[in-house]
Structure 1
Amino acid sequence: MKTMKTLLSASLALTALSGCQPETEKPNILFLLVDDMQSDAIAALGNKNVYTPNIDGLIAEGVTFTRTYTNGALCGALSMPSRAMLMTGRGVFEVQSDGMKIPECMVTLPEQLRANGYQTFATGKWHSDHASFNRSFAAGENIFFGGMHPYEKNGHCSPRLYHYDRTGQYKETSFIGEEFSSKMFADAAIEFLSTAAKAQNPFMAFVSFTSPHDPRNQLPDYGKKYKAKDIILPTNFLPQHPFDNGELAIRDEQILPPPRTGEQLQEELALYYGMVSEVDEQIGRVLNALNATGEREHTVIVFASDNGLAMGQNGLLGKQSLYEHSVGVPMLIIDPRSKKHGFKTDALCYLYDLYPTLCDIVGIEIPASVTGVSLKPLLEGTTDKLRDDIFLAYSNQQRALVKDDYKYIIYNVEGKITEQLFNLKKDPKEMANLADAMPQKAAAYKEMLIQRLKEQQDFCNIDTPLWWKDGHKITWDELINLYIFE
C-alpha cells in the first residue's frame, strides 16, 4: 500500500502541472467542518457542560455568526443537502436530488478556488457524488464517501476510507482506518499542510470531520470523558415531543426511543459531549500544524457544522425538525487581516452564504450559479441587514420562517395542521408556543412564508389542505426527481 505522504506528493504534483500561476498574495483557506454539532455545544458560547478549548480559541480570534441556519432538507439525511448547499452556495430547492449529486452546471467553492490558482485538498466526509469531489479537489486522503460510520461495522473506530483517485472512479475497495475517524482526518490534513505550505500557490484545505455524529457508543482513547451525573439537562428537555411532527419514528429518534428519562438523556449527552471534545482535540492538532508552517497569519480559517441536533430538546433526539437546535449551526470566520477579534453578530444568515463570502475575502469572482449572500460586510463592521428573514423547510411536512425576534413553524402531517410561534429573543429554547395567543402575528408570518415558498419554487403549497399531492410523506424516489439541473 502506498504511504499517505507518497499519495499526497503525487496528487500535489498533478496540481503543479495544471498550469496555474502562483497567487501568493491570496490568503490560504482552512475549512474545518464538523457533523451534527449543536450551535451551543461550545464552552465559549455558554455551555457549562462541555470542554472545547480549541474551538473556544477560534471564537476568541474571529467573528462568530450566532444566527446561522442550514436551509433544511427534503429527506432525513440532512447533512447531504446541507453540504451540497455549502459547496454550491445555493438553497435547498436549488440543489439536485437533495444534494446527492452536484451537476457540472454548479461550480463548487473549491472548484472555483482551484480555477483561480489554489491547491485544493480534502479529507473526511463527502456526501455527494465522486465526480463532483474530483472536480473540486486536486488532492485528498482518508476520504469518506457517505453519511455515517455504521454501528455494525464498528463505527468511528473502523472508518471505511479511500485514497485519492485522480480518475474519479474510486473503483478500488475502501480500506479500514486504523485510528478513530477524527484522528485519521486530522492526520491527513496535517500531512497536507506540511507539504502545501512549501508551494507558491495558496491552498484550500477542507477538513470534514464525521464527529460528533453517532455512533457515539465507543469513544476514542483521547479527549475528555464525561460523567452522566454531572451533565446539566437542557431547560427545554421533554420526555417526548408533544405532537406528531411526521418524523417521530425515524432512525435518529429510535437510537433512544421515547419517552426518555432525564437520566437516560444524561447518559446520552455524556457520550455526545465526549465526541465534541474528541473532535475539538483533533482540531487543535490541525491548528498546531498550521502554526508550525508559519502560514497562520496568511490563512483564513472557517469553522462550522453541517447541521445541529436535538439531544433531548423539545422531546426530540435527532435533527429532523425546524427547531433552533437542529437548523441552527455554529459558524465563525477568522480573517487574519481583520481587526475584529472575538466579535459576535446576530445577523441572519445561511450556512451556504460562506461560499460567496470566501470568494469576496480572497478576491475572486463569485460564479453566476451562486445564490448566497456575501457576509463580508459584516466582517467589516456593517450594521445593515443582509437578509430580512430566513426560510426553512423539511420534507413536505414542515415549513418555517424566522424574521426579527420571531419564528413561525407550520406542520402538515397527513392533513393535520399544527402551528407554532416563538419569540426567540425572550424564549430562545422555543418552549412557549404563542400561535393561539397571537393569531394575527401568526397569520402575518404565514403570509410571508407563503410568499417565500413561491420565490423558492417550493413544490408545496401550504395554503391548500394537503400541501402536495394527496398529502403523503414524500418518498426518496419522489424527491430525487423533483429538482434536476443539468
Structure 2
Amino acid sequence: MKNRTLCLALGLSALATVGFAKKEQKNVLFILVDDMQKTSIHAYGNTQVVSPNIDRIVQEGVSFGHAYTNGSLGGALSMPSRAMIMTGRGVYQVKQDGAVIPESQVTLPELLRANGYETFGTGKWHADKKSFNRSFEKGDHIFFGGMHQYNQNGHMSPRLHHYDPTAEYKEPFVGDKFSSEMYADAAVKFLSERKKNDRPFFAFVAFTSPHDPRNQHPGYGHTYHPEEMELPVNYLPQHPFDNGELKIRDEVLLPFPRTEEMIRKDLADYYGMISEVDVQIGRIIQTLREKGELENTILIFASDNGLAVGRHGLLGKQNLYEHSISVPLVMVVPGMEKGVRSESLCYLYDIYPTVCDLLQIQPAASVTGRSLLPVLQNPEQKHRDQLFLAYNSSQRALVKDNWKYIIYNVDGVVTEQLFDLSNDPDEMINLATDAKYAFKKDAYKRILKEEMKKNNDFCDLDRHFWRGKPGKMTWEEALKLYN
C-alpha cells in the first residue's frame, strides 16, 4: 500500500510540475476488441471485410504493424494480455497470469484518476473486481469474465453489472441487447452527459466481439455468406504436428479435420462479428464528434490477441503464429501523423508509458514497458530490437529482424520452426530444417535462451522436459506462478 501511494503521489507531482491547465489536457478513448486478427480489417487489405469505422481510425492514426501480446502461461491469452495492457508489465510480471492486479501494480486508469482524470469503464474486465474499482470511478454494463456462455444465449443475453462502489458486484443482470450495443450504449451515455469543460476523461470500452459464441448476430452490420468467403492462403485441414494445444476448448469447436466448408462458415460468422462491433465503434466516435471533443482526444484501438480461424489447421489463439500472437494497434493523436504505418516491434504493454508520455504524466514505478512516443513522432524510429513470446510450458518464440523462431516441447518431443516474415508473412515455409539456415536458427535459439533467463522464465530449453516434468502446465499451476 505504501508503494502504491508513492506511485500515485509521483504522478500527481508530475502533473503539477508540467503545469497543465485542465482544458489543455487531452482526453483518452481506449477501444479494445477481443480475438481480432490484424488481417481482418479492410484498411489493411482484407477486401472481404466491411469495417468502415475501424478503417477511419487507421486512416487518422499511426498503425503498428508489428505489435504483439507477450503471451500467456495458461489456457487463454485474454486475461494476461489485458492485465499487461493495464499495468504496463510483461507476462512474467503480472500476477497469476493476470487474474489479479495487486495494489502494487498501479493501472493506467488508476494513475490518470489520481492525476485528475475522470475514468470510466465498460465491457470486459478479466481481472479481479477490486482492481476495476481502483481504476474507474464510473462505469456501467461491466462484464467480469472471459466470454459469454453458449448455454446462456451468448452475446444476445450478456450477464452484466452496473457500477458497484463496494466492488462486490454480487448479482449480474441480463442485457436486453447484443453485448457490443450494451457497451456502446454505456459509453455513449457517459460521453453525452459530460460537460465539455469538465475534467479530462479516460474512457475504456472493452468489447467482447468478435470472440465466440458467434452463433447469433444482431440485425445490424454486414451479412456474409459462407460460399463467398475466400480461404486464407495458409488454411490447412489440421495442424502438421502436435503443438500441445490441439484438444483445448478453442480447438474442439469444430471437428477434425477442418473442411473448407467449415472454415468458410466460421469466417462468415467471424467477419460478421467484426462488422457489428465496427458499427458500435462508429456510434462512440460520432458522439465524441457531436460533443466537439474528438479533436482533443487520443484514440487507441487494439485487440487483446488474434485468432487462427482455419489458418495452420487451427481455430484458436493458443499458439505463437502471427495470426494469433500479433495484434492490430492504432493510435490517433491530435497533431501527429495520420494514415501511416510503423514497422517497429512493440508489445501491447508499451501502450501505458506511451499514454503517460503523451499526457506528460510520470508512469507508475511498477511500469516496465517502453514508450512509443518516439515512434509516433517518427514512424521510422526503431523501438525494440527483438520480442520474446511465450505460451504455457510448451511454446517459446523470438521475433527479430523480420524473422521468427518458434520452438515446441510436447512431452519431450521438440519441434522447431524458422520463418522469414518479410517473404513469408503467412508462415508457410519452415526453414528450420534447411541446412542453409542452421546458423540463423542456432543464433535465434541462443538469443531466445537469453530472453528466457532475463524474464525469469520457469522453463529451460536445455532440459528434456522444459519445466522438469512431462505434460503441459495446468491452469491451476499457472495461477500459482509469479505472485
State the partner residue of 1:264: 262
Rounded Cα–Cα distance in structure 1 between residues aligned with 2:368 and 2:46: 34
For residue 211 of structure 1, give the secondary structure of its aligned residue in structure 2.
coil
Where do 5+ consecutive residues of structure 1 fail to align?
1-19
Deviation (angstroms), 1:23: 2.1
Residue 397 in structure 1 maps to residue 404 in structure 2:
no
Rounded Cα–Cα distance in structure 1 between residues aligned with 2:444 and 2:381: 22
State the partner residue of 1:106: 105
The residue type equivalent to 2:35 in the other structure is D
For residue 24 of structure 1, give the secondary structure of its aligned residue in structure 2.
helix
Deviation (angstroms), 1:48: 1.7
Deviation (angstroms), 1:382: 5.6
Rounded Cα–Cα distance in structure 2 between residues aligned with 1:467 and 1:385: 33
Residue 416 in structure 1 maps to residue 413 in structure 2:
yes
The residue type equivalent to 1:414 in the other structure is D
CA contact (8 A) 1:85 1:92 kept: yes
State the partner residue of 1:6: none
Where do 5+ consecutive residues of structure 2 fail to align?
1-15
Equivalent of 1:374 in 371, 375, 385: 371
Rounded Cα–Cα distance in structure 2 between residues aligned with 1:314 and 1:62: 31
TM alignment of 1:5-154, pairs within 5 A: 23-154=22-153
State the partner residue of 2:284: 286
CA contact (8 A) 2:196 2:293 kept: no
State the partner residue of 2:178: 180
CA contact (8 A) 1:119 1:196 kept: no
State the partner residue of 1:354: 351
The residue type equivalent to 2:313 in the other structure is G
Deviation (angstroms), 1:197: 4.0
State the partner residue of 1:8: none
Deviation (angstroms), 1:200: 2.1
Task: Give the TM-score, by structure 2 length.
Answer: 0.95
Rounded Cα–Cα distance in structure 2 between residues aligned with 1:386 and 1:471: 37
Rounded Cα–Cα distance in structure 1 between residues aligned with 2:82 and 2:166: 23
Rounded Cα–Cα distance in structure 2 between residues aligned with 1:256 and 1:68: 29
Equivalent of 2:382 in 369, 376, 385: 385
Name segments (4+ residues, structure 1) moved above 4 Å. none
Rounded Cα–Cα distance in structure 2 between residues aligned with 1:384 and 1:368: 25
- Deviation per CA, 1:406-464, whole angstroms, max 9, x where unpaired? 10000000000000000000000000000011222111100000000000000001122
State the partner residue of 2:7: none
State the partner residue of 1:477: 476
State the partner residue of 2:341: 344
Deviation (angstroms), 1:476: 1.8
Deviation (angstroms), 1:293: 0.7
Deviation (angstroms), 1:397: 0.2
Rounded Cα–Cα distance in structure 1 between residues aligned with 2:200 and 2:158: 30
Rounded Cα–Cα distance in structure 2 between residues aligned with 1:69 and 1:320: 14
Deviation (angstroms), 1:188: 0.3
Deviation (angstroms), 1:405: 1.6
CA contact (8 A) 2:340 2:379 kept: no
For residue 23 of structure 2, give the secondary structure of its aligned residue in structure 1.
coil
State the partner residue of 1:426: 423
Deviation (angstroms), 1:479: 1.4
State the partner residue of 2:208: 210
Rounded Cα–Cα distance in structure 2 between residues aligned with 1:482 and 1:32: 30
Equivalent of 1:234 in 232, 235, 251: 232
- Deviation per CA, 1:25-46, whole angstroms, max 9, x where unpaired? 1100010000000011000000
Deviation (angstroms), 1:199: 4.6
- Deviation per CA, 1:149-168, whole angstroms, max 9, x where unpaired? 00000000000000000111
Rounded Cα–Cα distance in structure 2 between residues aligned with 1:471 and 1:212: 35
State the partner residue of 1:461: 460
Deviation (angstroms), 1:76: 1.4
Rounded Cα–Cα distance in structure 1 between residues aligned with 2:328 and 2:154: 25
Rounded Cα–Cα distance in structure 1 between residues aligned with 2:51 and 2:382: 31
Rounded Cα–Cα distance in structure 1 between residues aligned with 2:473 and 2:111: 34
Length, aligned pairs only: 463
CA contact (8 A) 2:322 2:426 kept: yes
For residue 346 of structure 1, give the secondary structure of its aligned residue in structure 2.
strand
Deviation (angstroms), 1:469: 2.0
Rounded Cα–Cα distance in structure 2 between residues aligned with 1:266 and 1:138: 43
CA contact (8 A) 1:182 1:210 kept: yes
- Deviation per CA, 1:170-195, whole angstroms, max 9, x where unpaired? 12x10000000000000000000012
Deviation (angstroms), 1:368: 1.2
1:265–1:448 CA distance, 2 compared to 1 (3 A): same
Rounded Cα–Cα distance in structure 1 between residues aligned with 2:459 and 2:431: 25
CA contact (8 A) 1:450 1:463 kept: no
The residue type equivalent to 1:297 in the other structure is E
Deviation (angstroms), 1:24: 2.1
For residue 24 of structure 2, give the secondary structure of its aligned residue in structure 1.
coil
For residue 297 of structure 1, give the secondary structure of its aligned residue in structure 2.
helix
For residue 422 of structure 1, give the secondary structure of its aligned residue in structure 2.
strand
The residue type equivalent to 1:231 in the other structure is M
CA contact (8 A) 2:180 2:280 kept: yes
What is the CA RMSD across the aligned residues, in angstroms?
1.1
CA contact (8 A) 2:343 2:380 kept: no
State the partner residue of 1:315: 313
- Deviation per CA, 1:50-80, whole angstroms, max 9, x where unpaired? 0000000010000000100000001112100
Deviation (angstroms), 1:471: 2.6
1:382–1:277 CA distance, 2 compared to 1 (3 A): closer
1:190–1:433 CA distance, 2 compared to 1 (3 A): same
The residue type equivalent to 2:415 in the other structure is T
Deviation (angstroms), 1:481: 1.2
For residue 387 of structure 1, give the secondary structure of its aligned residue in structure 2.
coil
Deviation (angstroms), 1:480: 1.1
State the partner residue of 1:10: none
